[in-house]
Amino acid sequence: MPISSAAVISLFQQALDENWGYIWGSYGQLWTRERQNQKVAYMVKTYGDNWKSTGKGDDYYYAAKDGAKWIGHKVADCSGLFRWAIEKLGGKIAHGSNTIYDGYCSSKGPLTNGKRSDGQALKPGTAVFCYNPGTKKRPHIGLYIGDGWVIEAASTNKGVIKSKVTDSKWKYWGELKMVSYEGENFGFPETPGWRPTIRRGDKGTEVTELQTMLWRLGYDLGSYGIDGDFGKSTQAAVKAFQKDTGISQDGVCGPLTWDALEKAVLAPVKRYTVTIPHLDKARVEALKKEFPDAVITEE
């Protein structure tokens, strides 16, 4: 089954929001002090104590040099971020930007100043590639997320960042074979079934809808309740729902969380019968207000 481009974008956005780092060869692992020490130990063993000046050509050089800043963070290299996202969504893709361009794109072509050479619109969820004319290789890859932006695992110094698709380094585009681009109409809320990704600090009708769904499912929205303001309590409720449904707990409501919320809200409701003896009329009225969905009968 094809993977939604919106779902891929949501996972890339998650990596950006969680401040993922860059380590060559990685695809979503947690970077630890032990792993960092192993890289440094390898460089010392291979190149000696002077490794910072003599070992620059080694694949592990930048991990040893800059990797300490990513301890405690998840890490990936540029194509590893694609591998992590696609596998998390049930698909498979190569770990390597050249291989992705050569074997995993259904259509592809040159890119100039953020525009395809065939005149067609660059669709959100499209992979974009750098190009080295000397080697004729594409050594770097990012994901176009719409509105002129790309999310990429850039370097051990920068980690996962956003860059402009008009950046001169982006020379080629490729639509991924396992990804569906049908029906994805980013930026147009009038599209049926379309919902934006929302997060803490957002306000409006989409936040109200989110809060209403969470409330119906029994999640605590704090003292403000359904107020259309995505605050701390709403974020905590989203994280609690994500935990309960096996979604990564980032507190952001993107396509995966919206889909899970809809399924949960539309699921058949379990009903229970509770018998409470010796209730007076005042207590019955109080129960009706406290549990408006309950059916209260006399026996």
Between 205-216 and 255-266, two packed helices, what is the crossing angle to 10 degrees? 40
Beta-strand relationship, 3-4 and 179-180: parallel
pLDDT tens digits for 16-74?
A: 999 999 999 999 999 999 999 999 999 999 999 999 999 998 999 999 999 999 999 99
Q: Which residues pair with 152 in a beta bridge?
A: 161
**Domain CATH for 255:** 1.10.101.10
User: Where do the DSSP E strands lie in 113-192?
Assistant: 115-116, 127-129, 141-146, 149-155, 159-164, 172-176, 179-180
Same domain, 257 and 140: no
Total number of domains constituting the chain: 2
Domain, as residue range, for 159:
3-31+72-180
Contacts of 45 (CB under 8 A, 6+ apart): none
Same domain, 129 and 15: yes
pLDDT tens digits for 77-129?
A: 999 999 999 998 889 999 999 999 999 999 999 999 999 999 999 999 999 99
Same domain, 175 and 226: no
- Residue 224 placed within a domain: yes
Tokens standing for residue 81 = 């971020």
Contacts of 191 (CB under 8 A, 6+ apart): 185
Same domain, 151 and 222: no
Same domain, 225 and 115: no
- Residue 165 placed within a domain: yes
Same domain, 100 and 231: no
The pLDDT of residue 24 is 95
The pLDDT of residue 191 is 35
The pLDDT of residue 82 is 97
Percent of all residues in the chain with a pLDDT value above 70, rounded to a whole number: 89
d(CA 39, CA 95): 20
- Confidence check: pLDDT of 193 > 60: no
- Residue 36 placed within a domain: no
Please state the pTM of the whole predicted model: 0.63
The pLDDT of residue 226 is 87
- Confidence check: pLDDT of 290 > 50: yes
Same domain, 209 and 260: yes
Last residue of a domain, one of 132, 147, 180: 180
φ, ψ of residue 191 in degrees (nearest 5): -65, 130
Last residue of a domain, one of 147, 180, 213: 180
- Residue 85 placed within a domain: yes
- Residue 151 placed within a domain: yes
Same domain, 88 and 127: yes
